Amino acid sequence: MSAPVATKNLIEVRDLQVHFALNTSFKSRLTGRGGQSVKAVDGVSFDLQEGEVLGLVGESGSGKTTLGRALLGLVRPTGGSVKLRGEELVGLRERELRPKRRHLQMVFQDPHASLNPGMTLEKALAHPLTIHGLTSGAGETQAKVRETLELVGLSPTERFAESFPSGLSGGQKQRAAIARAIITGPDLVVADEPVSMLDMSVRAKILDLMIDLKHRIGLTYVYVTHDLASAKFFCDRVAIMYLGRIVEIGSVDEIFNDPKHPYTQALIRAIPEPDPDKALPRDLPRGEIPDAARPPLGCSFHPRCPNAFDICGWESRDLRTMLEQRWVEGGEEMYATEQPLVGDLEKLDDSEHDAFLPAGSGKDPGQLLALLEKIRGEEPDEPMWTGVKDMNAEAHGVRVTFEPGIDPPLYDTDGARAACLLYKPD
């Protein structure tokens, strides 16, 4: 009997955080936003095995690019750990990081911006070889450049070696950018939306090239994309990101055939159907992605989640959203009768589990309470009401007490791991 093959982790990420400080000018302190930070990456953990392709998928602003860059040391994490073959990268100085850079490469979204217009491909590709001292002598460098151009399909290599980026098509430019990334013999390549700026007709060819290179020279990829369909085609595993967190991670099969997180489920329903006869309505969750500087309490997806329930993190801001939504949908007449009973809604913006809604000027808090009870009766399906523990009239308004929420970690399910309280063990 042969011994089981040990699978090696190339990369181990633990509780990685990248927080960007927002400016703390006098004005921003006055407006209450001083000293805040954007939690672009907020406690991310995963392993990456050698030879694997991991997709980072999510809407714009979910932290994919920042996470990809943090893996390569291109942005400085504010906390946590990234290990390359067991060796810690977080906290290294630039001088210590430099020799590791040849093992960690990036392919960017815009191939045009990532190539120097004044350099032939020969020069552009020779540059990293010289910097890292990987070849000795011009002959060896030239041979390595030609070999790499051949690998990425830019042949005849003599002709492409002499080309400037301006003489190349979009697809050829991206091939050249990939050549520059792989010429140092990296272990990990982070490809950030590498095909999203290219013509439809060449996208699949570039992804095919990347798969081919993975087998031929042994690469591991992190593939950053907002396009689930391309992740399904290209990846072995997929991590779904939302507001700086991984909310679900699993194999392509698990994520596409049996998504567990309500956000993933909505994203998958929203993939356009290629057959127009079967086209389903695009169904992204209600509302917009919240401000990453002030993420919602509890589960940060709760304001948009159709399955949200009592412990998902309801808070004062949700009460404001509910009222505003109701008045937008209910029309002028409803607004004219209900709005005067309600005082300043901005009082709800300091997010608290305990909300104090002031009554309109000269109005009786009892009337406001009656209005809220009426709305609850009319809209029992509004998920926010599951989290309302108590409503009481006080001297100048109504106090609404919410169930304290829980911020879900990634839970095991019978498939992918999902950060959703529906899977919380009892």
Ligand X SMILES: Nc1ncnc2c1ncn2[C@@H]1O[C@H](COP(=O)(O)OP(=O)(O)O)[C@@H](O)[C@H]1O
Residues at the contact surface with ligand X, assessed by CB under 6 A: 20, 38, 40, 58, 60-66, 292
Q: Quick one: which of 124, 292, 308, 371 contacts ligand SF4 (CB under 6 A)?
A: 308
Among 121, 292, 305, 357, interactor with ligand SF4 by CB under 6 A = 305
* Residue selected from 75, 92, 211, 422 as contacting ligand SF4 according to rule CB under 6 A: 422
Question: Any contact of residue 408 with ligand SF4 (CB under 6 A)?
Answer: yes
Q: Which residues pair with 147 in a beta bridge?
A: none
Q: Is 420 in the site for ligand SF4 (CB under 6 A)?
A: yes
Binds 408, which of Mg ion, ligand X, ligand SF4, none (CB < 5 to 8 A, cut-off by type)? ligand SF4
- We find the least distance from the C-beta atom of residue 75 to Mg ion, in angstroms, to be 12
11-19, 33-41, 63-71, 150-158 -> range binding Mg ion (CB under 5 A): 63-71
**Which CB atom, from 161 or from 420, has the smaller least distance to ligand SF4?**
420
Nearer to ligand SF4, 160 or 263 (CB): 263
Looking at the Cβ atoms of 109 and 184, the one nearer to ligand X is 109
From the CB of 296, what's the least distance to ligand SF4, in Å?
A: 9
Q: Could you give the CA distance from residue 313 to residue 384 in angstroms, rounded to a whole number?
A: 9
For the bound state, the minimum distance from the C-beta of residue 223 to ligand X, rounded and expressed in Å, comes to: 13
Shorter beta-carbon distance to ligand X: residue 151 or 189:
189
Applying CB under 6 A, the span of 122-130, 168-176, 305-313, 361-369 interacting with ligand SF4 comes to 305-313
What strands, in cross-sheet order, belong to the sheet with 9-21? Answer: 37-49, 9-21, 79-84, 87-88
Q: Which is nearer to ligand SF4, 124 or 421 (CB)?
A: 421
Question: Quick one: what does residue 174 bind among Mg ion, ligand SF4, ligand X, none, with the CB cut-off 5 to 8 Å set by partner type?
Answer: none
Whether 58 and 7 have beta carbons less than 8 Å apart is answered as no
Is 300 an interacting residue with respect to Mg ion (CB under 5 A)? Answer: no
Q: Give the x/- contact pattern for ligand SF4 in 338-377, rule: CB under 6 A.
A: ----------------------------------------
Based on the shown chain and the rule CB under 5 A, indicate whether residue 36 belongs to the binding site for Mg ion: no
> Residue 65 interacts with Mg ion (CB under 5 A)?
yes
388-393/397-402 β-pairing: antiparallel
CA angle 380, 381, 382 (to 5 degrees): 95
Please select the residue that binds ligand SF4; options are 301, 316, 323, 402, rule is CB under 6 A: 301
Shortest Cβ 76–Mg ion spacing (Å): 18
Considering the complex, what minimum distance in angstroms separates the CB of residue 383 from ligand SF4?
A: 8
* In the complex, minimum distance from the CB of residue 306 to ligand SF4, in angstroms, rounded to a whole number: 8
Q: Is 302 in the site for ligand SF4 (CB under 6 A)?
A: yes
- Kindly tell me which of 122 and 193 has the beta carbon lying closer to Mg ion: 193
Of 38, 53, 299, 357, the one binding ligand SF4 (CB under 6 A) is: 299
| 37, interface contact from Mg ion, ligand SF4, ligand X, none, CB < 5-8 Å by kind | none
Output the 3-class SS for the chain.
CCCCCCCCEEEEEEEEEEEEECCCCHHHHHCCCCCCEEEEEEEEEEEEECCCEEEEECCCCCCHHHHHHHHCCCCCCCEEEEEECCEECCCCCHHHHHHHHHHEEEECCCHHHHCCCCCCHHHHHHHHHHHCCCCCCHHHHHHHHHHHHHHCCCCCHHHHHCCCHHHCCHHHHHHHHHHHHHCCCCCEEEEECCCCCCCHHHHHHHHHHHHHHHHHHCCEEEEEECCHHHHHHHCCEEEEEECCEEEEEEEHHHHHHCCCCHHHHHHHHCCCCCCHHHCCCCCCCCCCCCCCCCCCCCCCCHHHCCCCCCCCCCCHHHHHHHHHHHHHHHCHHHHHHHHHHECCHHHHCCCCCEEEEEECCCCCHHHHHHHHHHHHHHCCCCHHHHHEEEEEECCCEEEEEECCCCCCCCECCCCCEECCHHHCCC
Between the alpha carbon of residue 168 and those of residues 36, 46, 212, 347, the distances in Å are 45, 38, 22, 57
Binding site for ligand SF4 (CB under 6 A): 261-262, 299, 301-302, 305, 307-308, 312, 408, 420-422
Q: Which residues bind Mg ion (CB under 5 A)?
A: 65
